[in-house]
Structure 1
């Protein structure tokens, strides 16, 4: 249940991003749902691979290159979907940072409202 609520709230966050940044466009709430799903998949599978492949650059930049990786995955989701469009790298960078902040806020709020995850051992 928590996963579905998180997914819906992240889709709402994408719709909110369209109001904050004109370079990010979402055609409908259904498109936002698909975009949130694809961004989640890319963050789960492609992003770790990109982090490993660019580890020397990330270390040399003291971790700042992770912002570039986040922007690339955000823009990659835009390229995979018709109803979600990001106009350029800078909009993808801003969008990925704001989306990450929204994700953090959503995770903390859900943790407080719905309690800890079921997989954690009791204390």
Structure 2
């Protein structure tokens, strides 16, 4: 049950990103649901490989390069999906920052609801 609620809230967060920031466009809530799923799968399977491959750069930048990795995951999901448009890497970067901030709020709220 918690996983379904989390999935719906992350889809709503994607719609909020699109509403707040003009560089990200999402056609509908159904598209946002699919996009949230794709972003989650990319973060689960592709992101760890990228983190390991970019470890030297991440260490030199004191972890700040992880923001670039997050933006790449966001941009990759948008490029794979129909109905999701990100206007460029800068838009993906800002969109991923907003999405991550909303994700922190969602995770914090769900931890309180489902201990």
Q: Same fold (TM over 0.5)?
A: yes
Residue in 2 aligned with 1:44?
44
Residue in 1 aligned with 2:20?
20
- CA deviations on 1:76-113 (whole Å, 9 max, x unpaired) are 00011001111111110111111111111101101111
TM-score by length of 1: 0.91
CA distance in 1, matches of 2:67, 2:11: 21
Residue 85 of structure 1 aligns to a residue in which SS? strand
Could you list the runs of 5+ residues in structure 2 that have no partner in the other structure?
Answer: none
CA distance in 1, matches of 2:84, 2:4: 20
Residue in 1 aligned with 2:60?
60
Shift in Å at residue 114 of structure 1?
2.0
- CA deviations on 1:20-74 (whole Å, 9 max, x unpaired) are 1101000110000000000000000100000000111111111111010000000
TM-score by length of 2: 0.98
Indicate whether 1:92 and 2:96 are aligned: no
CA distance in 2, matches of 1:112, 1:104: 13
CA distance in 2, matches of 1:19, 1:27: 11
CA distance in 1, matches of 2:106, 2:16: 13
CA distance in 1, matches of 2:33, 2:60: 36
How many residue pairs get matched?
115
CA distance in 2, matches of 1:28, 1:85: 12
